[in-house]
A and B are shown apart, each in its own frame.
Chain A
Amino acid sequence: MSCEASDVAEAIRAAADVIARHRVELTDLDRPIGDADHGENMNRGFTAVLATLDTTAPTTPAGLLKVVATTLISKVGGAAGPLYGTAFLRAATSLGQESRLDSEGLVTALRAGLEGVVARGRAEVGDATMVDALSPAVEAAEAAKGEGIAAQLAAAADAADEGAQSTVPLVARKGRASYLGERSIGHLDPGARSTALLLRAFADAAR
């Protein structure tokens, strides 16, 4: 099983919808440990992504992911803009000019995205960042490779949820929450949460 560019576009629209619906939740998660704007910033970015998709129609999965990347980089700001922008850009680059996204390509794209985030943000698993959600998601998508894209994304979303929850007892080591030291313990990392939400949106769109 594989998916067309139009399916990827559908998944991106679903992601924008999920971010819009969770805008307040993400901002509330950011309030005690950051500066209370993660939901606002992500929503600004994905609203712009939707507007761009209405006027341009890339014909490859990579082309669509690149639109997401460049729009997030130019509209989100903060740390989330360059981190998510880099993730989508690396994912897009890894897919080349393929017209369809298959199971192998999905894993390659997710892994490229993760490597981009790690390189830009210099964070590792356990630092209480989006890496804690994205890293297990990549592993899960890889493990489910034989089961098709829908199953892979569902597995990735489950793993990302669990990974995001795993940030709660952690001391944040990167990003603004790191300034809290021990006081960052007990908080769900907003970036890990938004990563889990995006993967869930992709998984639901692929069903």
Chain B
Amino acid sequence: MKKIINDPAAVVTESLRGLAAAHSDLLRVEYDPAFVVRADAPAPGVAVISGGGSGHEPLHGGFVGHGMLHAAVPGAVFTSPTPDGVQAAISASTGSKGALLIVKNYTGDVLNFETAAELAAAEGLDVRSVVIDDDVAVADSTFTAGRRGVGGTVLLEKIAGAASERGDSLDDVEAVARKVIGQVRSIGVALSAPTVPHVGEPSFDLGPDEIEFGIGIHGEPGRERIPAEPADALVERMLSAVVDDLPFASGDEVLLFTNSMGGTPLLELYLAHGIAERLLADRGIRVTRRLVGPYITSLEMQGISLTLLRLDEELASLWDAPVSTPALRWGK
């Protein structure tokens, strides 16, 4: 394993020190327990808080700032944060209008955030949670852990943050968040495995000509292993899975989010995005908003994910609202 690290056990802490140094105008970092919080905390409106394992940067700490998250709680690499960290972030960022926790549907995240929400409620804070489960690769059934929260999380955090910024009540921010969750769908593929620093070897074995179709954000499998194929065919396969699921239909206006899992360069990412735009146009689906880049990653894993969010006027205007965070910045 070659990585730019010192001690695997110190990776998250040392990375947070760099984040704090680079963006001291936007945020500050606490270390024990660890969380990232806006420099101007507590929030005047509803505090929008998220978190999860580290290794998905810029998710979530990179989205702390004006118009998006009020606090983010990083866990160890690929491991959800503990309840005391989440509770500390809630306490530090929540003002008089309560807090909305954005939780990805992973067992660990759900259990730890659930516990933290109970602790915060016991302190008298008005805390609600929404669980995002946009991954179409996983069967949604009461007999499984259910669909995972993946790329849609980025869009949800932006839109919920914008709703808070315009002064919405906790009820209203929660309602917007639930609307996004109802209308967003994603799928991911992996071309190679990531290496978790404290493990030191790749998380899974993938042959040179194999692709894992339907990965989660840790590179964990979801659907099937297929032979590598040209980008046209792969993007069509991915889009079909997403479009058929909601389903998205001709005439829909959508946001298309083409995401690198960390190791796929922009050359390939834009290539895939271009194909996706063309294929959506062929279906009569109008792409009116875009996001392209590495925003929810899986360490250095090669691969991409595609996320579609059906837009209405409200969601489009919340997406367009100014945002100023380390990783997303526009209009301000």
Contact = CB atoms under 8 A, between A and B. Distances in A.
Given A37-B199, A176-B106, A81 B145 contact: no
Nearest to B110: A79
B216 A81 contact: no
Contact of B199 (A40, A80, A81): A40
B148 interface: yes
B91 to A, nearest CB: 15
B120 to A, nearest CB: 15
Interface in A164-203: 173-176, 178-181, 183
B254 to A, nearest CB: 26
- Secondary structure at chain B's binding surface: helix, strand, loop or mixed? loop
Contact of A78 (B79, B137, B199): B79
A33 to B, nearest CB: 8
Given A77-B75, A82-B111, A181-B139, A175 B199 contact: no
A41 B79 contact: yes
Q: Is the interface of A mostly helix, strand, loop or mixed?
A: helix
Interface residues of A, number: 32
Contacts of B219: 35
Contacts of B220: 34-35, 176, 179
Contacts of A37: 76-79, 196, 198-199
B191 interface: no
Contacts of A180: 221-222
Contact of B196 (A35, A44, A77, A121): A35
A81 B53 CA distance: 13
- Max count, chain A CB within 10 A of own CB: residue among B33, B81, B82, B148: B82
Contacts of A173: 143-145
How extensive is the interface on chain B, given as a class? Answer: 35 or more
Contact of B33 (A40, A74, A121): A74
B107 interface: yes
Contact of A36 (B53, B137, B139, B199): B199
A79 B221 contact: no
Interface string B96-115: 00000000001110011011
B196 A179 contact: no
Contact of A76 (B53, B82, B199, B216): B82
29 contacts: A31-B204, A32-B204, A35-B79, A35-B219, A35-B220, A37-B78, A37-B79, A37-B196, A40-B198, A73-B83, A73-B84, A74-B82, A76-B82, A77-B80, A78-B80, A78-B108, A79-B107, A80-B108, A81-B111, A82-B111, A82-B112, A174-B145, A175-B145, A179-B137, A179-B144, A179-B148, A179-B216, A180-B222, A183-B221
6 interchain residue pairs of minimum CB distance = A82-B111, A78-B108, A79-B108, A79-B107, A178-B144, A35-B218
